[in-house]
Structure 1
Amino acid sequence: MAPAITLAAEAPKLSAANTGFMLICSALVMLMTPGLAFFYGGMVRVKSTLNMLMMSFISLGIVTILWVLYGFSMAFGTDSGSLIGWNSDWVGLGNIGLTELWPGYTIPVFVFMVFQLMFAIITPALISGALADRVKFSAWALFIALWATVVYFPVAHWVWGAGGWAFELGVIDFAGGTAVHINAGAAALGVILVIGKRVGFKKDPMRPHSLPLVMLGAGLLWFGWFGFNAGSWLGNDDGVGALMFVNTQIATAAAMLAWLIYEKIRHGAFTTLGAASGAVAGLVAITPAGGAVTPLGAIAVGAIAGVLCAMAVGLKYKFGYDDSLDVVGVHLVGGVLGSLLIGLFASGNGQSTAEGLFYGGGLTQFWKQCAGVFAVLAYSLIVSAILAFILDKAMGMRVPEDDEIAGIDQAEHAETAYDFSGAGGGAARTAAAAAAVGGAESKKVDA
């Protein structure tokens, strides 16, 4: 008998379909940052609206340049000690071939690079909601640059980079429960513990000035999140990306309903802010878990996150930390829940064969998830607090108290979100014109 011939596996080839899909997903994730700006911008008072918008938009500029210069190399380059990556050929992106494929996939390196860039952009923007009303814009911009360099880029390598310790351990994070949401939420907590509370916290009313803007922002986030989540499989040749797309919708719906039911029982009303916040909580929680759980598991993940995140947003009043727009309550808590629930609900039939406790896998995956969750949480919280402390001592993180009270928009940007000079419509303008004519006639008589 002739010896068996072993054929080498065929190398992946460029897929136009997957490439186009990933470019669309990248655009969807980019849209999430302006969506976040509207979501946060509607939640603050009128006098802080523009500042809140700008704190998200500036990330689009700063992180893009850093990613091109060295961020992509640090996050996804050749591993060094399971902590950081580096590839000198990727510095400035000048030595990447246009048709060079991302290893093991059918999309170009450039497509993977730009998709991951959008994640790097929105993560520091998420932090900004906790700091509303009181941070110097220049200090915030510098914080973004430093934080992305020493926190986000290394953590992205831990979780997603080949050789990263969490990646090698088997921590499941489909699209950013640890690298994005826990990372941003822990950073937010670290910074607000350093810079302190807003003037009038727990005394003055600080209600959202525009709930329609909040709902618009939540809708854009929900829409863009399909690219954020489904795109993270880098294609859909095996159906896992489709599973993630479906689970994203299911968990978000479950979380929104659970939040609304909780606040009706607890506070007596179904609020638009609750609907928007519940939806975002569901999106956060399913982000790490959606490729590992079934649709029924997605309902459980969403419902649990909806209730527990709704409960968590009130902790700031109990413990006295001023998380302006509930970044800790939604993103940190939601990210932790979504990541840990994988250890319970992973079915073994999605992105990996890992099974959670309820599917016969015991607690093995749960402990792996705990390692990833608490390592990222501790690292981000401590380093972010140190960065905020250094910046506060070097240049001052906060605006002067008078500027905070009068309005950070005018103090930091020399603009206001709304022009009220024409308020009152035609009748007011007619009255003003009549007064002006009357004054002119009086001057004639006097003359």
Structure 2
Amino acid sequence: MTSIIKKVSFSVLLVLLPLFASAQDIEKGSTLNTGDTAWVLIATALVMLMTPAGLALFYGGLSHSKNTLNTVGMSYVSFCVASVAWVVVGYSLAFSEGNAFIGSLNNLFLGNVGIEEIAADTSIPKLLFVVFQGTFAAIAVAIVSGSVVERVKFSFWLVFSFLWVLLVYSPITHWVWGGGFLSNSGELDFAGGTVIHINAGVAGLVLALLLGKRKDFGKATEMPISLTLTVVGSALLWFGWFGFNAGSALSANGTAANALLVTNVAASIGGLSWIAIEAFNKKKPSLLGVASGAVSGLVGITPACGYVNVGGALMIGLISGIIGYYGVVKLKHLLNYDDTLDAFGIHGLVGIWGSIATGIFANPSINTGSIGALYGNMQQIGVQLLAVLMVIAYSAIATTVVYFVSSFVTKGARVDETMEATGLDEAYHGERGFNIQ
């Protein structure tokens, strides 16, 4: 009888052993979860929609009629170039094991990334993580284009965007998310406040200053070609941002749900705060204002979405709309710089606020690993501010270097005066954005 019991017990143990192993694998992030994988697949598609559709329409509608197609094309081609740069070497520089500042070339051309491999600390395929992060790189460089459209060579942009992803975006990504020195500093950036928005906003301002102003800057009376396109573009950005922020949880869980909720709240109050200021100052709230305010709210909540509750989101979105308005309408004219479509005002300035605000409103009841100043950790503001300053400094210097290298390769960064006056759609591409007689 004892012998039978031992045999049965041994048989049961053999049956249960895979379950114990599976539980251990899940803990280590080495077992695929189909629900998490399905969600991140959808989130990746949503983020992809943001660049060649959402941002392209948002920027394209704001451009002048003679440059609309070129402006849309800048966002579109940014996605193409960044996607290639990312899989060739960008991902390796950002996420492979390296030193405190940059990853190694161990994953060059995605080498050593197996099709069945699970991304570290997740339950999704590593290849899915690669493409999800690649969509972030694409929108980051596309944001930069908004500062310089209507005067920059398309050939220059192709070279610049490729090098910028590798030499500016990837190192900063490694610092914050890839095991670099900011990864262990305590800095909170859930979905890309420092990595994407501050980085891209500062790069856009630097590029605009290096290129110089448009010849008709401050003189042109031509209105944007289509505010309808801009509003539709902002709606697509808003829609895609759910994948951007909630997808950054890399799991179908409560954190993702909270991120989606607070993203929507911040965008909504951001749009309302912008038009409230417009109504007070100009007596006419505009649809461009509500669209720009919503995008400002989305930018502001991006680093905080995995750490704050609805109350924090309301405050972040409210102030994001205010900062966005004064950055675009007041500061730009006060300092007289030509940031064509206000990438610095909306992404740079609001991104700085969002990162610092994360240090204020991070709520341990939302994420146990994050405690902001309102909950007793005043030091978090200092941690956030230090990361902001380091990203600003590196982005400005490295973007300058990439500008001069790219300009050397393409024999100049700026189109000639005749082409600029004619418009880049016809003079550069031989096409029209709108074939209207």
Establish whether TM, by shorter chain, passes 0.5.
yes
2:47 aligned residue (18, 29, 44) = 29
What SS does structure 2 have at the residue aligned with 1:26? helix
| AA in 2 matched with 1:137 | F
1-structure distance, mates of 2:92, 2:373 = 37
Identical aligned residues as a percent: 43
**1:172 and 2:193 aligned:** no
Contact 2:246-2:260 within 8 A present in 1 as well: yes
Residue matched to 1:357: 373
Larger radius of gyration: 1
Q: Deviations over 1:51-104 (max 9, x none)?
A: 001101111221111111111111100031x1011252x222243222211112
Deviations 1:322-365 (A, max 9, x none): 0111111100011101000112111112234332222222x211
Contact 1:194 1:389 in 2 (8 A): no
Larger deviation: 151-160 or 90-99?
A: 90-99
Gaps of 5+ in 1: 1-6, 422-447
Are 2:81 and 1:62 equivalent residues in the alignment? Answer: yes
What are the within-5 Å matches in structure 2 for residues 302-381 of structure 1? 302-313=317-328, 314-361=330-377, 363-381=378-396
CA distance in 1 between counterparts of 2:97 and 2:211 reads: 37
Q: After TM superposition, give the deviation of residue 207 of structure 1 in Å.
A: 2.8
Q: Deviations over 1:284-313 (max 9, x none)?
A: 000001111110110000001101110111
Contact 1:282–1:302, Cα closer than 8 Å, also in 2: yes
Paired position in structure 2 for 1:440 = none
Q: How far has the Cα of 1:206 moved from its partner?
A: 4.7
**Deviation per CA, 1:150-198, whole angstroms, max 9, x where unpaired?**
1001011111112x11111011000000000001000001111111001
CA distance in 1, matches of 2:248, 2:168: 21
Task: Give the letter for the 2:24 counterpart.
Answer: E
Paired letter, 1:157: H
* Residue 48 of structure 1 pairs with residue 62 of structure 2: no
Matched, 1:83 2:122: no
Residues 107-131 of structure 1: per-residue CA shift (max 9 Å, x gap): 0101111100100111100011111
User: What is the aligned partner in structure 2 of residue 205 from structure 1?
Assistant: 221
- Report deviation, 1:393: 5.2
- 2:308 aligned with 1:293: yes
> Hey, what does 1:3 align to over in structure 2?
none
Q: Distance in 1 between matches of 2:155 and 2:178?
A: 31
Separation of aligned partners in 2, 1:351 and 1:73: 29
Distance of 1:262 and 1:142 partners within structure 2: 40
Gap runs ≥5 in structure 2: 1-19
- Among 123, 148, 151, the alignment partner of 2:140 is 123
Residue identity in the other structure for 1:26: T
Q: Which runs of structure 1 show a deviation greater than 3 angstroms over 4 or more consecutive aligned residues?
A: 389-394
Pair 1:241-2:260 in alignment = no
Q: Which amino acid aligns with 1:414?
A: G
Tell me how many residue pairs correspond in the alignment.
410
Contact 1:79 1:161 in 2 (8 A): no
Contact 2:271 2:293 in 1 (8 A): yes
Corresponding residue of 1:10:
24
Checking the alignment, whether the CA contact within 8 Å between 1:135 and 1:398 is kept in structure 2 is yes
CA distance in 2, matches of 1:305, 1:105: 32
Distance between the aligned counterparts of 2:88 and 2:160, measured in 1? 18
Q: Distance in 1 between matches of 2:248 and 2:368?
A: 14
